[in-house]
Amino acid sequence: MTESVKKLVSILRDSSRIVFFGGAGISTASGIPDFRSANGIFSQKLRRNVTPEQAVSHSFFAYNTEEFYDFYKKHLVYPQAKPNDCHTALVKLEQMGKLSAVVTQNIDGLHQAAGSQVVYELHGSVHRNYCQRCHAFYDADYVLKEEGIPLCEKCGGIIKPDVVLYEEGLSDAVVSGAIGAISTADTMIVGGTSLVVYPAAGLLQYFRGKHLVLINKSETQADSQAELVIHEDISQIMKEAVDALEEERNEE
């Protein structure tokens, strides 16, 4: 066990209200690539190449809906993805009574699939889709199997994923819940995120607790503020640390 992991175990041992704040790097071990690695598309209507950010913007959804769904289904929905060691480690921390909440920028629903009970999804979820006209609910499977633009079976309206697109604001209720959890946490673990996506990254300013831990393969703008910084694979680090803590508790 490295000194960094030993330090993380010590912090976990000392904590009782941990909040985990995660980004795309959490899901890469589950086979979900970072969204920014996705290639754009050639828009037939616009006759030009469209970046990933433009392809999942509110305006592109509104005016180029079929092309939006073509990109969305290929690059944002991964129905075969399963929770990895990081997701499992967080569930164990919650079951130990140490983790109070997960705040995630991811839209894959893997934290809930693993068993986490308190999850604030800042950018929504691909597993929730609603008719824009009558608000009927549809799951991800329905959207994926529909060719072209998925339409409501009840009223024929266009279905929209419950995902925060570019140009859209975050849910006030979700943000409020996340701020409440972060502001009362004694430890905050930030993992798998480069902290460049706002306003989500700005939530760190509400942390007033004792321990700030950053686990990310590359450097972030908040590294200098953290008590512990680990530039390694987060799924491996979290598994090793939580397994060690679990072993300690079992020996008591």
Question: Which amino acids are annotated catalytic?
Answer: 123
Half-sphere exposure of 18 (CA within 13 A, CB side): 27
Quote the CA–CA distance of 163 and 148 in Å, as a whole number: 18
Half-sphere exposure of 124 (CA within 13 A, CB side): 19
Question: What residues have CB less than 8 Å from 20, skipping those under 6 apart?
Answer: 90, 93, 99, 101, 102, 103, 188, 189, 191
3-class DSSP assignment, residue 57: strand
3-class DSSP assignment, residue 16: coil
Question: What residues have CB less than 8 Å from 2, skipping those under 6 apart?
Answer: none
**Residue at token pair 């490295």:** 2
Half-sphere exposure of 111 (CA within 13 A, CB side): 26
Quote the CA–CA distance of 94 and 97 in Å, as a whole number: 5
